[in-house]
Amino acid sequence: MTTDALIENVHFRRDTMPVHDVGWRAMAANISDLAAMGARPLLATVALGMPLDFPQADVLELYRGMLDVASRHGCGIAGGDLTGAPELFIAITAIGEVRPRRVKGRGGARPGDIVAVTGALGASRAGLHLADNASMLNGELREQALAAHRRPEPRVAEGRWLAASEHVHAMMDISDGVSTDLARMCVQSHCAALLENVPVASSAVEAAKQRGEHAQAYALAGGEDYELLLAVAPRAFTHLSSRFNKRFGRPLYAIGRFREGSGPYVRQDDGEAPLPPTGWDHLA
């Protein structure tokens, strides 16, 4: 059972995001939490607060966005509550089903485990910057960034598949950036981690270049990528990653190692440095 709320002007702005995609993102954030538990989504409820002048067509578009992503993952919308509010907010609760012994949680990572992610990171932040400069990216890179930002795909099938493996010791979704979320996993697992090689989405590489920023920062500190972050037993990683690739058509990326100690570190040219929760930005 999971709850996640989106608030206008805190989490999104209506002038830069279609209401359909506001609905999609709100629902995707909840379904991603279920994916991180290895759960099959069942039902969601929606508490929607809106200004009195919010157009009825926009209410329908908002629900269409929620339904579009929910239905892709077998999740129904069971009902909810509509109310007046000073600004738009969407609080969604979703319930899912998983065998208790498959639930990984964040506390199972062990020193020596591989830090892994289910996909390249940073595209959502590239998509966010498109709101400031719409012509920054073109073609496929533009599509990649917009889709990642507006219509992220929760990794439900991947989460259920990974939850079934005894070699996966911990799992969570990356909603606040890998630097922040890996720090949480380190705290819960009482260990440290060293990041060596984080895959950066091609749209993030290009957006960072155009903006004169570090592409690694997009991958480490950019939130809302909704890939899964895992701790995997080292001896099983190669086999698991190869089976993952066969099943999902893309690799399971090894991005570092857990070790004794506390908190996340990142490899730099001249050694390594502690990784603050806001990621690479503070190291630059």
Binding site for its own copies (CB under 8 A): 1-5, 7, 9-11, 43, 45-47, 49, 78-81, 83-87, 89, 91, 93, 95
Q: Which is nearer to its own copies, 67 or 147 (CB)?
A: 67
Q: Please report, to the nearest 10 degrees, the dihedral formed by the alpha carbons of residues 209, 213, 219, 222 taken in order.
A: -120
Contacts of 131 (CB under 8 A, 6+ apart): 13, 16, 17
Give the pair of three-digit tokens for residue 131: 């709101």
Closer CB to its own copies, 103 or 194, in the complex: 103
Q: How far is the CB of 75 from its own copies (least distance, A)?
A: 12
Shortest Å distance, C-beta 10 to its own copies: 5
- Least separation in angstroms between residue 65's CB and its own copies is 18
Choose between 10 and 164: whose C-beta lies nearer to its own copies. 10
Beta carbon of residue 61, minimum distance to its own copies (angstroms, whole number): 21
Tokens of 59: 């209410």
Task: Identify how many contiguous H helices and E strands the chain contains and give both numbers.
Answer: 9, 11
Q: For its own copies, which is the closer residue by CB, 91 or 215?
A: 91
Nearer to its own copies, 47 or 59 (CB): 47
User: Given strand 253-259, what is the order of strands in its sheet?
Assistant: 168-173, 228-232, 114-117, 253-259, 192-195, 263-268, 271-274
Instruction: Provide the minimum distance between the beta carbon of 51 and its own copies in the complex, in angstroms, as a whole number.
Output: 11
Name the minimum Å distance from CB 45 to its own copies.
4
Alpha helices for 45-155 (secondary structure H) = 56-72, 123-129, 139-150
Nearest to 144 by CA among 200, 202, 199, 214: 202
CB of 181 to its own copies, least distance (A): 15
For 102, left (φ over 0), alpha (ψ -120 to 50), or beta?
Answer: alpha
The first and second tokens of residue 106, run together, are 């964040």
Choice between 49 and 159, CB closer to its own copies: 49
Look up residue 247 and give its two tokens.
Answer: 């099943």
Instruction: Return the number of the residue (119 or 177) whose C-beta is nearest its own copies.
Output: 177
